[in-house]
């Protein structure tokens, strides 16, 4: 579904990514972990064609994102760390607008909007303006725009950023429901979220992948004893 080969990205003299390679299969739920500045967001922006790589190749379901960017992007739903919201719009108008932007056929827009409002638990705020919503509802609206065209791949950058514990639990439930139908990549600083949602973890350090394994394997130390993802993360970044 997703293949990256030797992805490098430089900003002037700063090398943000230093030869990233991995494959993600259809239906996998993968967590990206790394300290601030490790390269997670840069990598996610390259996967979504928001940024070009300096070198290397990315294919999305067989489509090279450098040569066939539009076809590749149609397969991806993206929630950046700051959702692309229009505060003056109602939730329903915003999701409808997103459907038009993403080329959902006109005859299907109404049905698709209704479906997504239900999936993201937005039905009771559909006619409210985004500006008056809580942070949690705004994050859900951001996910709604990401899935409005039924993408095969969902990329979420810090989806629970700034949420309170109740909102985090609701967002986690939403993501778990969405993952049944899609390949999901999620980046977050909340390690417990990765433990409960992801099936596989990629840990990025200084622009390189330093760990790539199933979550169950990572949560065992070298002696086979159970450990936490926090223990693994701190050991790698020591």
Rg over CA atoms, the chain: 18
Identify which of 63-72, 83-92, 157-166, 220-229 has the greatest average pLDDT. 83-92
The confidence score (pLDDT) of residue 169 equals 82
The confidence score (pLDDT) of residue 60 equals 92
Across 113-134, average pLDDT: 94
Domains of the chain are 1-75+153-238 (3.40.50.300), 83-150 (no CATH)
Who has greater pLDDT, 186 or 196?
186
- Check whether 76 has a pLDDT greater than 80: yes
Across 158-165, average pLDDT: 80
Mean pLDDT rounded to a whole number for the chain = 89
- Check whether 180 has a pLDDT greater than 70: no
- Check whether 237 has a pLDDT greater than 90: no
Query: Per-residue pLDDT tens for 19-32?
Result: 999 999 988 999 99
Widest distance between CA atoms in the chain: 58
């Amino acid at each position: 579904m997703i293949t990256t080969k030797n992805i490098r990205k430089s900003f002037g003299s700063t090398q943000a990514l230093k030869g990233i390679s991995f494959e993600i299969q259809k239906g996998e739920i993968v967590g990206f972990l790394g300290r601030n500045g490790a390269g997670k967001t840069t990598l996610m922006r390259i996967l979504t064609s928001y940024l070009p790589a300096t070198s290397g190749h990315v294919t999305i379901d067989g489509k090279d994102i450098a040569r066939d960017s539009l076809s590749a992007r149609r397969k991806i739903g993206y929630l950046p760390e700051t959702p692309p919201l229009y505060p003056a719009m109602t939730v329903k108008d915003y999701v409808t607008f997103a459907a038009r932007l993403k080329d959902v056929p006109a005859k299907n827009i109404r049905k698709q909007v209704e479906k997504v409002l239900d999936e993201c638990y937005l039905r009771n705020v559909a006619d409210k303006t985004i500006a008056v919503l809580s942070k949690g509802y705004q994050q859900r609206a951001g996910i709604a725009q990401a899935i409005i065209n039924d993408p095969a791949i969902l990329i979420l950058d810090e989806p629970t950023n700034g949420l309170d514990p109740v909102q985090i639990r609701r967002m986690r439930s939403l993501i778990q429901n969405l993952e049944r139908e899609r390949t999901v990549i999620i980046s977050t600083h909340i390690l417990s979220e990765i433990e409960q949602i992801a099936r596989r973890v990629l840990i990025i350090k200084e622009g390189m992948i330093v760990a790539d394994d199933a979550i169950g394997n990572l949560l065992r130390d070298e002696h086979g004893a159970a450990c936490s993802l926090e223990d693994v993360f701190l050991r790698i970044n020591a």
